Structure 1
């Protein structure tokens, strides 16, 4: 008997590790079907993932979010294979130790953290509108609260660089700004919010993109990614404002909110 047709369907990007993997595991445990979009493969020796894969409840797709052409091809396949998506979680992101150009010539922080989630949300919004939950969540960061000046040209093609509080923080601010603007434009009762998952002990937070003084504190102060996954799922509950940025489970003010339309229109134009 086909049981997957009655399961709610979530699409999770960046599901191969960290919060994305924890979120995928939790959704599967709650009997969701999960569609993943990742650059790296999912863990191969996880019994729960293997069982869900065998049941048809875990369906993997692959794309490098820094390659927008490849991403578009992957999204065409997902849109055709998954006519109904209840929950879309744009979780994938990067925090690097230096600027790095994507295929477009723009910095990877912009293309992966800002532009790719927009491309994904726009492409799959019709599928989400057919679901029961009809929710899109963009995983952001409280680092955006530290951004004093938002220079979009500098974000796309940086001439200076600061770990975590530079391009990464600005990219998450841009993400939450266009989320705020786009939320009012979505069809079919689709809701969209951005959410900070909190401080989680993940490969990214242990990576070279973190300032050294903070990286040494990760094993001590940062939490298991399951906590971040719980915060993300909590952001999907009803009654929360559309377009809100959720920090510690509550709507928080987004800096530079008056520039939300500007950021949205820029991202929309680059997405084509």
Structure 2
């Protein structure tokens, strides 16, 4: 294992035979994570909203796998819209029916800084996509993860979580106050709070949620990671004021990195031996670029009352309860 401060995808160890889900795997850092994990032997399912885009991404990955030879793994496509709880449930049921185990759930799919919208479930769209969908998917797939020794859940957060100071539980869908940035930052601190409470509950349960709490198997490892300023299409879809766009253009060349580099902290968190429960991994330079490093979280992201309140609210609105 290379030290994280020098770690690149070239240091990724064999993942032969592992079953891995990467949501949002048809582009950006999700695509790069899925591609490299499959190249190292994993059987990867990329979960996408658009089947056609998913198949196009899978075809591109399969071409690389064929060239890599017999040691490479496989890639399949699953369809789920993280903002649609019925879609999440349908995917989870189909996956569980065809897979006896799951080594890694990489909750990567997300949206960023969109105009206010409400989903068919009545939820604010950024919160639905970035937190509630992954929360529900994690709970629905936890039995498979708990049945797999060494399994991991990696929730993808963002440096933006530091901008959030209020979960707005009394204005949950942000009817009274909405800005694209604040709503995005709130959803991202929720990724960290969810992981914090998930790690606590897994440890308290003692066997990863898969049995009677006897501690016969190691708990599932729950961690967070963030890609830094990765050059992907996500920012291009965001609602950004003109001055901020100009500022981004000026600093992008020195503060950003490629989608592959952005995927490194995610893959590191999903695979490396020195990763601990409730860790937060991101790029080493200012949390924006560079090799993976263990990061500090904003104080709010580890607030126990906030994480417990978020868990209760998430169970209420998704209808998915686990590790109670």
Determine if contact 2:227/2:266 at 8 Å carries over to the other structure: yes
1: distance between equivalents of 2:197 and 2:128? Answer: 19
Of the structure 1 ranges 235-244 and 64-73, higher mean CA displacement relative to structure 2 is found in: 235-244
Residue correspondence of structure 1 range 95-110 to structure 2 within 5 A? 95-110=112-127
Residues 37 and 63 in structure 1, CA contact (< 8 A), matched pair in contact too: yes
Partner SS, residue 26 of structure 1: helix
Matched, 1:183 2:199: yes
Q: 1:48 aligns with which of 54, 61, 74?
A: 61
Please state how far the C-alpha of 1:130 moved relative to its aligned partner.
2.6
Q: Which residue is equivalent to 2:263? A: 229
1:3 is aligned to none
Q: 2:310 aligns with which of 240, 246, 263?
A: 263
What is the rounded CA distance, in whole Å, between the counterparts of 1:171 and 1:22 in structure 2? 23
User: Could you list the per-position Cα deviations for residues 89-117 of structure 1 after superposition, in whole angstroms to 9, with x for gaps in the alignment?
Assistant: 00001114311110111111111111111
Structure 2: which 5+ residue stretches go unaligned?
Answer: 1-15, 67-71, 203-207, 209-216, 284-292, 320-324
| Per-residue deviation, residues 184-237 of structure 1 (Å, max 9, x unmatched) | 223152010111111101111122334444444265342111011111111232
1:137-184 superposed Cα distances (whole Å, 9 cap, x missing partner): 0000010012133313435234333333x1001111012102100112
Whole-Å Cα distance in 2 between the matches of residues 127 and 231 of structure 1?
24
- Aligned-residue offset at 1:17: 0.8
* 2:36 alignment counterpart: 26
The counterpart of 2:142, out of the listed 119, 125, 132, is: 125
Superposition deviation, residue 52 in structure 1:
5.0
3-state SS, counterpart of residue 77 of structure 2: strand
Distance (Å, rounded) in 2 between the aligned partners of 1:198 and 1:86: 25
Aligned 8 A contact 1:93 1:113 in 2: yes
Determine the structure 2 residue equivalent to 1:87: 104
Matching of residues 1-272 of structure 1 within 5 Å? 7-40=17-50, 41-42=53-54, 44=56, 46-50=59-63, 52=65, 57-164=74-181, 166-186=182-202, 187=208, 188=217, 189-216=219-246, 217=248, 220=253, 221-236=255-270, 237-248=272-283, 249-256=293-300, 257-258=303-304, 259-272=306-319
Instruction: Give the alignment's Cα RMSD to 1 decimal.
Output: 2.4
TM-score normalised by length of structure 2: 0.75
In 1, Cα distance between the equivalents of 2:187 and 2:23? Answer: 17
Number of equivalences: 267
Preserved contact between residue 40 and residue 73 of structure 2 (Cα < 8 Å): no
Larger Rg: 2
Partner SS for 1:70: helix
SS in 1 for 2:94: helix
